[in-house]
Amino acid sequence: MHRVTSMNKRTRALLLSLVTFVTVAATAPPAHAFIVNQQIIDDGLTLSEALDKFQRLHKRKLELPATMPIATTSTAGELYYDGTTTALVLSYADDRSHERYKIVVRKPPAPLRPHSADKVLPLRDGSSALYRYQSAHDVHRLDFQRDGWEYWLLLTSPHATPERLVEVANSF
């Protein structure tokens, strides 16, 4: 039986990626469920590293909200590719209260269209956002498009409301 230390670097990296993907998929709030057939490009990044890589990839600046819906004790950044576009995932957590908040940003593949369970909510700039509650995962989600980007705000918190997410969206 070969020991892990005898594996070549490529095999070790592939194994680590697989273990990381399975671990993230099994333990992370379901913000990853939104990107179908995703491939992790880069994970384990700080927020600023992930934001910088995403902006360099798209050759343009990205605005982030001035308002945060939760207190934050830990953060992480990731980049995903779904076969069409690269998505930036910025994760915030309050480890004391177990609240989780994620911002997902990508180029919009098409205009947003409401599903039957969505509520259409107005934003301060005159555009609309789509709100839905995903009860299976206890996630409140607000989707909107602005300045050539599509944003998804995902919040897992007992204090989550559509109005709270709209407040965050209005602070971009």
What's the average model confidence in pLDDT over 3-16? 40
Helices within the chain (DSSP H only): 9-27, 47-58, 162-170
- Report the residue count for the chain: 172
Q: Which pLDDT band, with edges at 50, 70 and 90, does 43 fall under?
A: confident
pLDDT of residue 20: 34
140: which strand partners? 133, 155
What's the average model confidence in pLDDT over 9-27? 37
Cβ within 8 Å of residue 59, ≥6 positions away? none
106-136, pLDDT tens digit by residue?
Answer: 999 899 999 999 999 999 999 999 999 998 8
pLDDT of residue 55: 96
Domain 4-170 CATH class label: alpha beta
Mean pLDDT, all residues of the chain: 82
What's the average model confidence in pLDDT over 52-71? 94
Q: Which tokens in the block code for residue 164?
A: 């709270």
**Residue 103 neighbours by CB distance under 10 Å:** 22
pLDDT of residue 38: 58
Q: Which pLDDT band, with edges at 50, 70 and 90, does 12 fall under?
A: very low
Rounded to two decimals, the pTM is: 0.77
Task: Pick the more confident residue, 112 or 83.
Answer: 112
pLDDT of residue 40: 73
pLDDT of residue 47: 95
Q: Which pLDDT band, with edges at 50, 70 and 90, does 44 fall under?
A: confident
